[in-house]
Structure 1
Amino acid sequence: MKTPSASILAPVGIIASAVLLSACGSMDKSPRFNPASVPESIRVPAGNQVAWETTGRGEITYECRDKANAPGQMEWFFVGPKADLMDRSGKKVGTYYGPPATWEALDGSKVTATQLAVAPSGEGNLPYQLVKANPAMGSGAMTGVTYIQRVALKGGVAPAMACTAGNKGQRQIVNYQADYIFWK
């Protein structure tokens, strides 16, 4: 059997490379997050651009406590979150923890924020949320972040078990997942 000569294979290789490059060049490079897909109340003001899309996977701790301003009543109190932030390829890029609610990139830059709005996101899920970022601490990925949206929620609500005087002080951990969209 005769093997093809290099002079025949070279043009074929060039054509194949060109086809592959043009296919890659036409791939949609837009963010996976669609800003119009969220309720109006948690939309980011015009003039801001999506800078970073992450998925937070972790847990939220609740504690059974006396209900504030309601003598004799008990409630599950939100103690704080602890989650890893992953980029769209699944690589860890930071953490989310609190209180206070803090988003920290692996480069050491971090932000805290003030809640502006929430909206229902479905039964059994934490609500959508929009926060206004405080100035970043340190320089890096969080520098210049203006807003953070919590979207694409799964779980995270207070435990279903009753919070009573009998289990006062007991802590429960609930798993959750949410996308955190950072705007600049």
Structure 2
Amino acid sequence: MLIRTALATAAVSLVAACGTMTPMMPTYSQAGLPAAVQVPAGNRVALETVGMGDITYQCSAKKDMAGQFEWVFVGPDAKLMDRSGKQVGKYYGPPATWEAMDGSKLTATQLAVAPNMAGNIPLQLVKGNPAMGSGAMQGVTYIQRVATMGGVAPATPCAAGNLGAKQIVKYQADYIFYKAM
């Protein structure tokens, strides 16, 4: 009886202790990504977000190609959500800007892209420029855009008749923020 009571007390204590622990988040893995968009060694994941929103395109004349037209990327407008679905920032442009809810923000320089499946914008690796303001974006060295869905230029024709027209398409992508170790 004494042993049974001791075991029951230990089990209750263990369950109570586990209930107050923060669950361990798995570390984001770059293993399945093309080498071009992998973050260099010496950086660690600082924040994982899911961007959900819109990308605007505009019908424009092709440069140096008289009489030809194309949809040109204008800019994004998306909410950045953490893995639990809470908004932690926003992504907008031009210029492409990632802004945390604490007001810190940064722009970045594109280093590489890699194709994703048809109908999805490419995967991307950018190098962070120095952040404006102190907060979550301070010290961000790289941002990866992965797990992209949608966001490609409209399928509707772009021609002289709709030159200057804008179209908005929906997209979603994971934005993984890195800081130097």
What is the TM-score when the length of structure 2 is the normalising length?
0.90
Residue 5 of structure 1 corresponds to none
TM-superposed CA distance for 1:51, in Å, is: 0.5
Aligned Cα root-mean-square deviation (Å): 2.3
Identity of aligned residues (%): 62
Q: CA separation in 2, counterparts of 1:20 and 1:153?
A: 40
**1:62-81 paired onto structure 2 within 5 Å:** 62-81=57-76
Residue 44 of structure 2 corresponds to 49
Please state if 1:182 is matched with 2:177. yes
CA 1:74/1:105 → structure 2, altered by over 3 Å: closer, same or farther?
Answer: same
Residue 154 of structure 1 corresponds to 149
Moved more, 147-156 or 69-78: 69-78
Q: CA separation in 2, counterparts of 1:169 and 1:147?
A: 34
Please state if 1:125 is matched with 2:120. yes
Residue 17 of structure 2 corresponds to 21
Please state if 1:111 is matched with 2:106. yes
Aligned residues: 176
Which has more strand, going by share of residues? Answer: 2
Structure whose alpha-carbon radius of gyration is higher: 1
CA 1:12/1:46 → structure 2, altered by over 3 Å: closer, same or farther?
Answer: same
SS in structure 2 of the partner of residue 49 of structure 1: strand
Q: CA separation in 2, counterparts of 1:161 and 1:45?
A: 39
Residue 83 of structure 1 corresponds to 78
Letter of the structure 1 residue corresponding to residue 14 of structure 2: A
